[in-house]
Structure 1
């Protein structure tokens, strides 16, 4: 079996717990765009967020979509905003979102690097807030490659970000594992020819991820043992 020499991670729902991070973001965003609770409820419903319960619906555009897709969904319902101004507001709120690490990231990522792995982040978030979140966690320098939907390689489930990582770290795709919490992540991994691992720190269940994954774990803490079992 071919050894794994690179690991590419989704950010939200994988490195960071999705619900703890983005449910707080959604509430703050809605309260920032309107003082009217009824309007906040309506706008939340449009993006698949229950404002009263502070909970995303499983099919929410926020879960796997890009900020651009979220902005496109909201724009017809937000008078006074252009696509640019709305996207700027979404990204600004995203940078302020409180990040809750899925596991302690510094020791986890340091351990992978000590084992010789090249590491990357491929997110459907914009690159600037992604870098802010990683810097806040103190892990930016542990990654060889960080890319967002606006970095020039497209967004998932297309494989552009993943293929760019493989090129950047000079590894064949069969030596890389894509790790994510959504079908978008795993479909991108399959399209790129990589192995795929799903984690349950997002909103998708095991039954949703399993058809696209070589393995599904509760969180990324199980990854080092799985990688070791792949071969040397």
Structure 2
């Protein structure tokens, strides 16, 4: 990886700022069971989204891990006759705003340290923008971010680079000066396509072997970012 100035850090949300299974496992189980008519119905919906009801974890290859709320709702809809996609999306988004948030490290301290370095910060998530803003607010860190971009913010969803480029353009920063931090291949591929530095974290379902070939660096979680920045002379 070539050296150069870093002026901004763009974070994925779920699996990155917040530990994926610790945050979404119990929530997904509760939502499925609330919508299900019986245990067999719950199991069918869980299988549709790649979720294990017994251990309350998503399969690493579940389509909803890096997908949008609409994609998750589309997978569930065949199991919910009489429901409309738009209504289901709205229901899931509303419920997601109240998910119990579990961060891998104290976020205010970490983000404050990055701001003290003079870095601009943002969130780019395949969740809805309103949900991302609600989560940042509940975590007490919304004021730390210069931009919060969701799949419905008008720039598309990852792995397209458009939302990442919108972040850089909005701040007047060259994409090569931005680190994209995420837990999925969607994040890494979007970063590559945008011309950004790709840093992966292991606080989501994907493992090191999957992420390493696509990333400039792989960290256990976002808590390792300050040391990585220092060691790479950024």
Give the TM bin, normalised by the shorter chain.
over 0.9
Cα separation, 1, equivalents of 2:15 and 2:197: 19
Q: Are the equivalent residues in 2 in contact too, given 1:8–1:122 (CA < 8 A)?
A: yes
1:122 counterpart residue number: 124
The 5 Å alignment of 1:182-197 reads: 182-197=184-199
What displacement does 1:186 show?
0.6
Mind listing any 5+ residue stretches in structure 2 that lack a counterpart?
none
2:17 counterpart residue number: 15
Cα separation, 2, equivalents of 1:92 and 1:216: 33
Task: String of CA shifts for 1:73-120, please: whole Å, max 9, x gaps.
Answer: 111221121011110111112111111012100010000001100000
What displacement does 1:20 show?
0.4
1:96 counterpart residue number: 98
What displacement does 1:221 show?
1.1
Cα separation, 2, equivalents of 1:27 and 1:95: 16
Mind listing any 5+ residue stretches in structure 1 that lack a counterpart?
none
- Out of 158, 161, 175, the residue aligned to residue 159 of structure 1 is 161
Cα separation, 1, equivalents of 2:199 and 2:93: 28
Task: String of CA shifts for 1:126-178, please: whole Å, max 9, x gaps.
Answer: 11111111101000000000010011010000001100000111110111000
Task: String of CA shifts for 1:15-41, please: whole Å, max 9, x gaps.
Answer: 000000111121121122124122111
What displacement does 1:55 show?
1.7
2:48 counterpart residue number: 46
Aligned length: 232
Q: Are the equivalent residues in 1 in contact too, given 2:44–2:79 (CA < 8 A)?
A: no
Tell me whether 1:229 sits opposite 2:231 in the alignment: yes
- Out of 71, 82, 85, the residue aligned to residue 83 of structure 1 is 85
Cα separation, 2, equivalents of 1:188 and 1:34: 35
TM-score by length of 1: 0.97
Query: Which stretch has the larger CA shift, 162-171 or 49-58?
Result: 49-58
2:27 counterpart residue number: 25
Runs of 4+ that moved beyond 4 A: none
Q: Are the equivalent residues in 2 in contact too, given 1:67–1:90 (CA < 8 A)?
A: yes
TM-score by length of 2: 0.96
1:111 counterpart residue number: 113
